[in-house]
């Protein structure tokens, strides 16, 4: 099942939420424009199947929901449209000012502190994957199931 | 003077042409000759381009975002920036069927070396053991090529593997990470030399540290990967432009050479090429022909010519290529430091690991990560993207990559031939490659040694990240019509004159009877000069 191509307003909103999530900054007009353009020239223009659409919709609510869905898709749906959108946005952010500066910078902490912070973030990642399994996986399975039913139903009624 | 037609404008072709032009020959060069865009904002540093360009994402990622590496990307990742995509772009109608081999072909002006990484390593006598000449015979040609292109390098521990020749410029300024690795090597030298047979030193690089022939010395803009805007980094198109200043040179682009014609005495009379403007075939008369289209394309032209003349489908055995293994590493001492984009971007240090025989030698190029795109790396970290970004920012300066090269020998089951699909269409080129049966064991043994070397340098190899590249990825193809002292079909003399056609010369890697574990390009150029000097 394919959904309609996304309109500019929806893409701008997505871009803003995902940008806040990735680097903690608001995207400027240039980043939004490139994000929209990429959706017009690549397979990202389609929202994918119903499960993809669901993941993108939930991820688009806010930074925390993006983080949960990102952690979940990293493990269970690494090639999902959401991951592609996030990677695409990351590519745009690293290519232009002022956002590249964040990606090129380092945390001014000592090595032990960096290590502790990394351990903390890894633990959060594991926790979020578990949350994803409990909350997201059942919904995704239902949607995938219904999509199959829909495809089965199409030839007879379409 | 004879009229010499040269096919191809790559590293071999342009140096062969330049030598002939200096001798007064009339030279016609036929080439597909694709070109890329001119460099933008020539004085800007890599980092400045992100601010100064009106559309920086189009420059770094391509107008069509083809430079974005999405998670489901299946092919081998070469990291070729959009500005150099023309070097590898396909040609309509060029069909190749492969088994066990993934060739990269170029139809660009300057050939594959328009996108090379500049490593120039002369072969030593051990590596030339299969060749019908010795190092002293080709040394003057290495000297000449070094004078033409500009090479930086010093005498150091690597000299035992790669002889010192004339015309070396002082080395480039080292980046912080490479300098740290070298200083660590000095501390651990005794162990590394004696126990592991590992020697580390400065890479020999085709980049200027002094102004030369209108080219500016490297000013550390950090744009090597993206296309050096100052001409400090050598590419064959620089020599092609030099050839174009000669009145006895004619460069004919937009031509795809199909085959050559020959008479009953097997003397070549003309070469047939298809115009890419109007798709018509044109014929170019010649006195002598030099094939320099690169091993795969040269083999195709040779095979097609025999097929067009007699209907025979010949087979050229002995295709060789360097197996390459990529070994990423993290230098623990560099964690948390800021990377410096204002440095030379490709490998600045290299290592050699001795084998029991010359064929067991391993050659490694050590590249420290600087201004390559980072999203292809970040997405492969097994964490969510935000955490991956945070981790990567603090690791960026500490990341590096060893590109480990293995030698290859000519074997009968690795060949190039043609295949007829039906009577009406032209035959397709077929390439078959099978690695040696003991290759996996050889690679595993080498990896154990390299990991020990890296550990001694205080670097760790992240688990699961080592990548064995497919055959064909190194782009060091050679060996299908080798130089030989024995007069047999499908070989050449020691001056690369065909044994099958008297006025045909093959001046690219096609004639190399052995492929050492080293970058081949410098020897391609030097050998082309040697042929021009010895046979013309």
- Is the omega angle on the peptide bond into residue A98 within 30 degrees of 0, that is, cis? yes
CA dist B371 → A141, B47, B296, B339, B468 (Å): 41, 9, 32, 9, 23
CB-CB neighbors (< 8 A) of B334 in chain A: none
Tokens of residue B198, six digits: 């590992």
Q: Look at A23 and B389 and tell me if their CB atoms are within 8 Å.
A: yes
φ and ψ of B465, to 5 deg: -105, -5
Please list, in sequence order, all residues whose beta carbon lies within 8 angstroms of the beta carbon of residue A141, skipping any fewer than 6 positions away. Answer: none
Q: Look at A106 and B379 and tell me if their CB atoms are within 8 Å.
A: no
Cβ count within 10 A of residue B157:
18
Q: What is the pTM of this model?
A: 0.93
Q: Look at A83 and B71 and tell me if their CB atoms are within 8 Å.
A: yes
Q: Look at B335 and A111 and tell me if their CB atoms are within 8 Å.
A: yes
Q: Look at A88 and B68 and tell me if their CB atoms are within 8 Å.
A: yes
| d(C-alpha B178, C-alpha B157), whole Å | 16
DSSP state of A60: T
φ and ψ of A80, to 5 deg: -65, 160
| d(C-alpha B72, C-alpha B85), whole Å | 20
Whether the CB-CB separation of B110 and B94 falls below 8 Å is answered with no
- Which of B67, B70, B385 has its CB closest to that of A22? B385
Find the mean pLDDT for residues A88-115: 92
- Which of A22, A87, A105 has its CB closest to that of B70? A87
Q: Look at A95 and B59 and tell me if their CB atoms are within 8 Å.
A: yes
Q: Look at A74 and B336 and tell me if their CB atoms are within 8 Å.
A: no
| d(C-alpha B28, C-alpha B87), whole Å | 22
Cβ count within 10 A of residue A64:
10
Cβ count within 10 A of residue A94:
23
User: What DSSP string runs through B315-335?
Assistant: EEE--B---EEEEEEEEGGGT
Q: How far is B82 from chain A (nearest CA, A)?
A: 13
Sheet holding B415-419, edge to edge: B96-99, B428-432, B415-419, B315-317
* Whether residue A7 has pLDDT greater than 90: no
List the Cα angle B390/B391/B394 in 5-degree steps: 90
Cα B173 to chain centroid, rounded: 24
- Which of B335, B337, B383 has its CB closest to that of A125? B383
Residue of A nearest to B391 (CA): A118
- Kindly indicate the confidence band of residue A154, based on its pLDDT and cuts at 50, 70 and 90: very low
- Which of B341, B374, B384 has its CB closest to that of A94? B374
Please list, in sequence order, all residues whose beta carbon lies within 8 angstroms of the beta carbon of residue B81, skipping any fewer than 6 positions away. Answer: B60, B67, B225, B226, B227, B373
| d(C-alpha B266, C-alpha B40), whole Å | 50
Interface test with B, best of A106, A109, A120 (most B CBs within 10 A): A106
| d(C-alpha B154, C-alpha B365), whole Å | 16
CB-CB neighbors (< 8 A) of B338 in chain A: 104-106
Q: Look at B51 and A114 and tell me if their CB atoms are within 8 Å.
A: no
Half-sphere exposure of B502 (CA within 13 A, CB side): 6
Q: How far is A142 from chain B (nearest CA, A)?
A: 24
Q: How far is A57 from chain B (nearest CA, A)?
A: 18
Q: Which residue has the tokens 């990341």?
A: B399
Residues of B with CB under 8 A from a CB of A: 47, 50-51, 56-57, 59-61, 64-65, 67-72, 335-339, 341, 373-375, 378-379, 382-387, 389-391, 393-394, 396-397
Q: How far is B373 from chain A (nearest CA, A)?
A: 8
List the Cα angle B308/B309/B312 in 5-degree steps: 75
| d(C-alpha A42, C-alpha A36), whole Å | 10
Residue of B nearest to A20 (CA): B386
Task: Give the model's pLDDT for residue A1.
Answer: 40
Whole-number mean pLDDT of chain A?
87
Cα Rg of chain B, angstroms: 23
Q: Which residue has the tokens 């608001």?
A: A26
Q: Look at B337 and A114 and tell me if their CB atoms are within 8 Å.
A: no
- CA torsion sign, A106 to A111 to A112 to A116? positive
Q: How would you classify the pairing of strands B168-169 and B151-152?
A: parallel
Q: Which residue has the tokens 């499908």?
A: B490
Residues of A with CB under 8 A from a CB of B: 21-23, 30, 34, 37-38, 41-42, 67, 70-71, 74, 78-79, 83-84, 86-88, 90-92, 94-97, 100, 103-107, 109-111, 114, 117-118, 121-122, 124-125, 128
Interface test with B, best of A17, A38, A39, A87 (most B CBs within 10 A): A87
In three-state secondary structure terms, B183 is helix
Task: Give the model's pLDDT for residue A134.
Answer: 94
Burial A27-50 (b: 16+ CB within 10 A, else e): beebbbbbbbbbbeebebebbbbb
Find the mean pLDDT for residues A7-27: 95
| d(C-alpha B384, C-alpha B396), whole Å | 17
Q: In 3D, which of B375, B400, B395, B357 has the Cα closest to residue B197?
A: B357
Q: Look at A42 and B65 and tell me if their CB atoms are within 8 Å.
A: yes
Residue of A nearest to B340 (CA): A104
- Which of B59, B338, B373 has its CB closest to that of A94? B373
Cβ count within 10 A of residue A71:
25
Cβ count within 10 A of residue B201:
22
φ and ψ of A54, to 5 deg: -65, -50
Residue of A nearest to B59 (CA): A95
Q: How would you classify the pairing of strands B281-285 and B268-275?
A: antiparallel
Q: Which residue has the tokens 């993809």?
A: A52
- Which of A38, A74, A90 has its CB closest to that of B383? A74
Q: In 3D, which of B74, B361, B67 has the Cα closest to residue B199?
A: B361
Whether the CB-CB separation of B317 and B480 falls below 8 Å is answered with yes
Interface test with B, best of A94, A108, A124 (most B CBs within 10 A): A94
Whether the CB-CB separation of B403 and B365 falls below 8 Å is answered with yes
Q: Look at B65 and A38 and tell me if their CB atoms are within 8 Å.
A: yes
Tokens of residue B453, six digits: 């070397």
Q: Look at B338 and A105 and tell me if their CB atoms are within 8 Å.
A: yes
Beta bridge partners of B492: B483, B498
Residue of A nearest to B48 (CA): A97
Task: Give the model's pLDDT for residue A45.
Answer: 65
CB-CB neighbors (< 8 A) of A67 in chain B: 384, 386
Q: Which residue has the tokens 């559309």?
A: B55
Tokens of residue A65, six digits: 């929901």
| d(C-alpha B108, C-alpha B31), whole Å | 8
* Helix locations, A6-110, DSSP H: 8-23, 29-41, 50-59, 63-76, 81-95, 99-104
pLDDT in tens, chain B (536 residues): 789 999 999 999 999 999 999 999 999 999 999 999 999 999 999 999 999 999 999 999 999 999 999 998 877 778 788 999 999 988 887 889 999 999 999 999 999 999 999 999 999 999 999 999 999 999 999 999 999 999 999 999 999 999 999 999 999 999 999 999 999 999 999 999 999 999 999 999 999 999 999 999 999 999 999 999 999 999 999 999 999 999 999 999 999 999 999 999 999 999 999 999 999 999 999 999 999 999 999 999 999 999 999 999 999 999 999 999 999 999 999 999 999 999 999 999 999 999 887 788 999 999 999 888 999 999 999 999 999 999 999 999 999 999 999 999 999 999 999 998 777 778 899 999 999 999 999 999 999 999 999 999 999 999 999 999 999 999 999 999 999 999 999 999 999 999 999 999 999 999 999 999 999 999 999 999 999 999 99
- Which of A21, A41, A117 has its CB closest to that of B65? A41
Beta bridge partners of B99: B432
List the domains of chain B with CATH numbers: 1-34+96-150+235-320+475-536 (3.50.50.60), 70-80+156-233+323-406+436-470 (3.30.410)
Task: Give the model's pLDDT for residue A153.
Answer: 45
Domains of chain A, by residue range, sit at 8-157
- CA torsion sign, A144 to A146 to A147 to A148? positive
In three-state secondary structure terms, B135 is helix
């Amino acid at each position: 099942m394919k959904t309609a191509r996304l309109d500019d307003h929806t893409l701008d909103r997505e871009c803003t939420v995902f940008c806040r999530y990735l680097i903690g900054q608001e995207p400027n007009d240039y980043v939004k424009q490139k994000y929209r353009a990429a959706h017009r020239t690549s397979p990202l223009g389609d929202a994918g199947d119903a499960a993809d659409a669901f993941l993108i919709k939930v991820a688009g609510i806010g930074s925390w929901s993006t983080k949960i869905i990102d952690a979940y898709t990293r493990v269970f749906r690494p090639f999902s449209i959401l991951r592609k959108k996030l990677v695409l946005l990351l590519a745009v952010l690293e290519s232009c000012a002022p956002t590249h500066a964040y990606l090129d910078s380092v945390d001014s902490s000592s090595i032990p502190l960096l290590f502790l912070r990394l351990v903390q973030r890894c633990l959060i990642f594991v926790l979020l994957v578990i949350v994803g399994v409990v909350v997201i996986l059942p919904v995704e399975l239902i949607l995938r199931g219904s999509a199959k039913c829909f495809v089965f139903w199409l030839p007879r009624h379409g | 003077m004879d009229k010499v037609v040269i096919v191809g404008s790559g590293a071999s072709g342009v140096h062969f042409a330049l030598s002939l032009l200096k001798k007064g020959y009339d030279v016609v060069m036929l080439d597909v000759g694709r070109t890329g865009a001119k460099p933008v904002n020539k004085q800007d540093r890599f980092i400045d381009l992100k601010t100064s360009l009106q559309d920086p994402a189009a420059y770094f990622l391509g107008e069509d975002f083809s430079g974005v590496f999405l998670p489901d990307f299946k092919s081998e990742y070469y990291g070729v920036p959009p500005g150099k995509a023309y070097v590898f772009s396909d040609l309509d109608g060029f069909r190749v069927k492969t088994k066990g081999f993934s060739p990269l072909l170029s139809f660009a002006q300057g050939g594959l070396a328009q996108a090379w990484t500049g490593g120039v390593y002369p072969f030593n006598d051990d590596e030339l053991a299969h060749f019908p000449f010795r190092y002293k015979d080709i040394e003057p040609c290495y000297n000449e090529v070094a004078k033409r292109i500009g090479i930086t390098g010093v005498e150091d521990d690597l000299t035992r593997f790669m002889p010192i020749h004339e015309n070396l410029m002082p080395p480039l300024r080292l980046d912080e990470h490479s300098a740290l690795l070298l200083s660590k090597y000095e501390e651990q030298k005794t162990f590394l030399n004696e126990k592991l047979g590992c020697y580390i030193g400065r890479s020999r690089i085709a980049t200027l540290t002094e102004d030369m022939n209108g080219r500016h010395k490297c000013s550390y803009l950090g744009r090597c990967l993206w296309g050096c805007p100052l001409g400090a980094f050598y590419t064959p198109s620089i020599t092609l432009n030099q050839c174009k200043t000669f009145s006895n040179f004619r460069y004919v682009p937009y031509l795809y050479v199909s085959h050559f014609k020959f008479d009953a005495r097997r003397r070549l009379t003309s070469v047939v090429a298809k115009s890419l403007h109007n798709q018509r075939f044109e014929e170019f008369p010649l006195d002598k022909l030099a094939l320099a289209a690169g091993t795969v394309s040269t083999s195709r032209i040779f095979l097609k010519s025999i097929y067009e003349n007699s209907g025979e489908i010949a087979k050229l055995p002995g295709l060789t290529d360097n197996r390459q293994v990529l070994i990423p590493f993290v230098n623990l001492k560099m964690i948390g430091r800021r990377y410096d984009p204002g440095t030379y971007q490709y490998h600045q240090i290299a290592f050699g690991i001795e084998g029991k025989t010359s064929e067991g030698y391993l050659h490694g190029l050590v590249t420290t990560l600087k201004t390559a795109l980072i999203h292809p790396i970040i997405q492969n970290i097994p964490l969510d993207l935000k955490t991956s970004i945070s981790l990567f920012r603090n690791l960026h300066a500490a990341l590096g990559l060893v590109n480990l090269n293995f030698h290859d020998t000519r074997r009968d089951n690795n060949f190039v031939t043609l295949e007829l699909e039906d009577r009406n269409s032209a035959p397709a080129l077929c390439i078959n490659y099978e690695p040696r049966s003991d290759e996996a064991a050889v690679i595993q043994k080498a990896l154990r040694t390299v990991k020990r070397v890296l550990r001694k340098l205080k670097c760790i190899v992240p688990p699961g990240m080592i990548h064995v590249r497919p055959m064909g990825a190194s782009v060091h193809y050679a060996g299908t019509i080798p130089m030989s002292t024995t007069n047999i079909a499908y070989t050449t003399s020691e001056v690369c004159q065909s044994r099958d056609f008297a006025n045909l010369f093959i001046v690219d890697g096609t004639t190399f009877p052995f492929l050492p574990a080293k970058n081949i390009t410098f020897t391609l150029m030097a050998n082309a000069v040697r042929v021009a000097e010895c046979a013309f």
